[in-house]
Chains A and B, each alone.
Chain A
Amino acid sequence: MTSATINGIAVEVPEGTTILEAARSLQIEIPTLCKHPDLDPTAACGLCIVKAKGINRMLRACCTPLEKDMQITTHDPELVEVRRSVVELILSKHPNQCLTCGRNRNCELQTLASDFGIRQVEFADIVPDYDLYDDTSVLTIDPRKCIGCGRCVEVCQNIQNVHALCFLNRGYDTRIAAAGVNLGESPCVKCGQCSAHCPTGAIVELDETAIVWDYLKDSSLLTTVQIAPAVRVAIGEAFGLPPGTNVTGKLYAALRRMGFDRVFDTNFGADVTILEEGSEFIERFLHRKGELPLITSCCPAWVDFMEKFYGDMIDHFSTTKSPHEIVGVLAKTYYAKREGLDPARMRVVSIMPCTAKKWEIKRGASMSASGYQDVDVSLTTRELARMIKQAGIDFRNLPDEPCDRILGEYSGAGTIFGATGGVMEAALRTAQDLLTGQSLDKIDFEAMRGMKGVKEGTVVIAGKEVRVAVAHGLSHVESVLRRVQEAKEKGEDPPYHFIEVMACPGGCVGGGGQLYGVTDEVRRARARGLYSEDEAMTLRKSHENPEVKRLYAEFLEKPLGQKSHSLLHTQYQARLTYAR
C-alpha cells in the first residue's frame, strides 16, 4: 500500500494506483477527456494535470502512480486556469456546431466548456477540413470533431482487437481513420464501441429515426416494433432513472403511444433461438452430427469478426438466427398469416443496444427469409430515447402496459440474453431438460455470470460432462478459439463443447448502441436488472414458454424442422479483409 496526501487529505491505496484513481476514492474529480475507466491512459488531453510538492512540473494524474508521501494538489487557481486554457485550445480546433451535433447535451467536451464557463476562445480558430464519412452504413465519423484523445483507437485495437481504427499522421494533422482505406473496407466489425467511448460527436451511430417516423406517418403500413433484452434496463437512464432500472412496461406503453401498431418483444425471439440452438447443441453433442464446440452467433459484430478472421471455424457456428431476426421473420410469416395481414405492408423495427444490428439486417439473403427484408430498420437504444423525447412522452411517469401477443411472452431465460453468459445459461437450462427428458430444478448457473473476460465451467448433465466457455470483449475471444484450434490440430478432444461469445464487454448491456457513460459499474447494474427480472419470474426456461410451444404446434412443427431451417437459420461466408 502507498500512503500520501491529496489536497491535505490522507489516502492509502494499493501500489501502482494512479493519482487520478486515488483522488476519485476521496470524491475528488479531476477532469479528463482521454482517460476512460475501461481503457489504459493515453495521456493525450492534458486536463488532468496536478501539482506535487517538491516537483517543479505539473504531472498528469491519469498516468502517474501515486508515490509514497506525495503531497498532491489537484485544484488551485493556477491549475484551474491552465485547464481552462487546455479546454480553449481544444475548442479552437473543434467545430462550433453543438446544436446540430449527435452528442448535443451529451458531450464530455461540451460539459467541460460549460463547467469552465468559457464564453470566448482566445485562440485563433483552426478547425481542420476533413470530410465526414459513413460508408459502414452503421457509424458516422466526423474527423473534424475528433479531439485526438485516442479512446476509440484504444478500444478498437486493445479491447476489441479489431485494429480497424488508427491514428494517421501527427500533430495538427492527426486524424482517426482506417489504414489507407475507408472504414467500410477495413476489418471494422461495427460493434460501435468506438462511438460508445468517444467523448465528443466524432463517432456516432447512423441516425435512422427519420425512416421510422415515416413508417409511423404512413397509415397504410402496419408497423411493428420489438425491444431487445438489454434495452429495458438501460433506456431509463435517458430519463433520469438509475442504470439497471427495468422499464419494460413503460417501454411498451411509450412505443404504443408513438404509434407503433404492434409491440413485440425480442425476448420471445430469444426463447425461440434457445430452442433451435439448444437442439443444434444436442444434435452435435449427443448424436455427433456436426462440429464441436458449438459457438453462439446471436452477436452480429462477432459474426462479422468470425467471418473475417476465423473463416475456418464457420462449421462451429450455430446457424440459428439472432432473436430480433427471428421475431422479424415470424412477424412477416406466422403472425401475418394468423392475422390475415399482407407482409408487404408490414414493417418491423427493432430496438437494439447495438450498432452492428444495422449491418446484420442486410447481411445476406437469409435475412429476407419471409420474402421481404425481415427486419426493416434497427435503431439503437440512443435513437429510441431521442424519439421518445420528440414524441413528448413523460416516460418516467408512464403506467406499465403489456406487450402484444403472440410474439411477446418470454421467459427469464430470454431476458438474461442481454448480459454476458446469459445465452449460455439459457441454453443450459433448456439443454439439460432436453437431454434428460425431465424438468430439472437447477436453474442458476452462476459461473456464467459476471464481468470476467473468459468464464469457463463444466456442467454434468445426464452423467455427461459438458464443458462450456463464455467470452466477451473480442480480445478475450482469441485465447478461447486458439485452444479449440490447437486441440483440433493435435486431433484431441475439443476443450469445450459450447462457447458463447459477445463482442462487447459485458455483453449487450454494454453494447455499442447503449446510452453513454458505460463503465463496469454500469454494466453490472444493468445486468443485475436482467437477473432480478429472471429471478422474479416463474417461467424461467425457454422451452416452457407457452407461446413458443404454440408457435411450434401451430406453425414450425419442431426445432430444426424443415420450416425452421428455411426461416430461422442462416449461413456464413468467409469475408476477406486485410490482416490486423
Chain B
Amino acid sequence: MADAVMVPDISRTVQKWRSKPGSLIMALHEIQNRYGYVPRNVSLQLAQLMNVPLARIYEVITFYNYFRLEPPGKHNLSVCMGTACYLKGAPALLDTLKNELHVEEGETTPDGEFHLESVRCVGCCGLAPVVVANGETLAKVGVNAIGGLLARCRNEQKED
C-alpha cells in the first residue's frame, strides 16, 4: 500500500522548494496534500532530488503528527482524547474501535477501509465524548453506538 503511487511526478514541487533552505517541510506538505500521505517511493525520490538524506526526511515525517507514512483509510475515524472527552469515556471508545477494527492508533485496516486515530481537543467540549467520522463531528458517542457507526460506513460503501 505504501508504494501505491507508481511513478510520482514531484519535479514541480522539488523545483519550487529546492533552492530555499529549510523548505523540506513545505515540500512534504505539498506531497501529503496531493497523495493523502507521503509514500516511501516519493520520499526516496525527494531525497535524491533535494539532496537531503532519507534519514532526515523520515525524522521530519515522524516528528510531526500531521504527516502520514501510510495511505489514509476510506473512512477516517478520530477519537477526541482532549480532557473533557477523556473524562467522559473517550478511552473506552478508542479501545472499542481498536478491538472492532483490529488496528492500533494511527493504523489503517488491511483492506484500506478504516483509519483510526486519536486527536487532542477538537474544540466542542460541550458535546463530549466526540468522534469525528469522515469530517463529521458525532456528539456524545457511547460505546454502544460504535457498532452502528461502523455499519453505516460499510453500508455507504456498498451503496457507492
Contact = CB atoms under 8 A, between A and B. Distances in A.
Q: Do A and B come from one complex?
A: yes
Contacts of A166: 55-56, 58-59
B103 interface: no
A579 B44 contact: yes
B147 interface: no
B55 A580 contact: yes
Contact of B62 (A163, A165, A170, A579): A170
B110 interface: no
A167 interface: yes
Given A578-B47, A579-B47, A179 B63 contact: no
A166 B53 CA distance: 10
Contacts of B57: 179
A168 interface: yes
Per DSSP, chain B at the interface is helix
A579 B69 contact: no
Interface in B46-76: 47-48, 53-59, 62-63, 69
A178 interface: yes
A179 B55 contact: yes
B62 A169 contact: yes
Given A157-B53, A579-B53, A580-B54, A167 B59 contact: yes
Contacts of A579: 44, 47-48, 53-54
Contacts, number: 45
Nearest to B47: A579
A180 interface: yes
Nearest to B49: A579
B53 to A, nearest CB: 4
A164 interface: yes
Nearest to B64: A170
Residue among A163, A168, A579 with the highest chain B CB neighbour number at 10 A: A579
Interface string A153-182: 000010000011111111000000011100
Nearest to A173: B62
Given A180-B40, A180-B69, A580 B62 contact: no
A166 B58 CA distance: 8
Given A169-B63, A170-B63, A580-B53, A179 B58 contact: yes
Residue among B44, B55, B58, B62 with the highest chain A CB neighbour number at 10 A: B55
Nearest to B2: A180
B55 A157 contact: yes
Contact of B59 (A164, A168, A578, A580): A168
A163 B69 contact: no
B35 to A, nearest CB: 16
Contacts of B47: 578-580
Contact of A178 (B48, B55, B62): B55
Nearest to A175: B62
Contacts of A163: 53-56
Residue among B48, B54, B63, B69 with the highest chain A CB neighbour number at 10 A: B54
A309 B62 CA distance: 26
Given A180-B69, A578-B47, A579-B44, A168 B58 contact: yes
A578 B40 CA distance: 11
B123 to A, nearest CB: 23
Contacts of B53: 157, 163, 579-580
Interface string A277-292: 0000000000000000
A138 to B, nearest CB: 19
A65 to B, nearest CB: 24
A165 B63 contact: no
A179 B40 CA distance: 10
Contacts of A169: 62-63
Contacts of B58: 166, 168, 179-180
A341 B50 CA distance: 58
Contacts of A578: 44, 47, 54
Contacts of A164: 55
Interface string A171-211: 00000001110000000000000000000000000000000
A165 B47 CA distance: 15
Interface of B: 40, 43-44, 47-48, 53-59, 62-63, 69
19 contacts: A157-B53, A163-B53, A163-B54, A163-B55, A164-B55, A165-B55, A166-B58, A167-B63, A168-B58, A169-B63, A170-B63, A179-B57, A179-B59, A180-B54, A180-B69, A579-B44, A579-B47, A579-B54, A580-B55
Given A168-B59, A180-B69, A580-B53, 11 more contacts: A157-B53, A163-B54, A163-B55, A166-B56, A167-B59, A179-B59, A180-B43, A180-B58, A579-B47, A579-B48, A579-B54
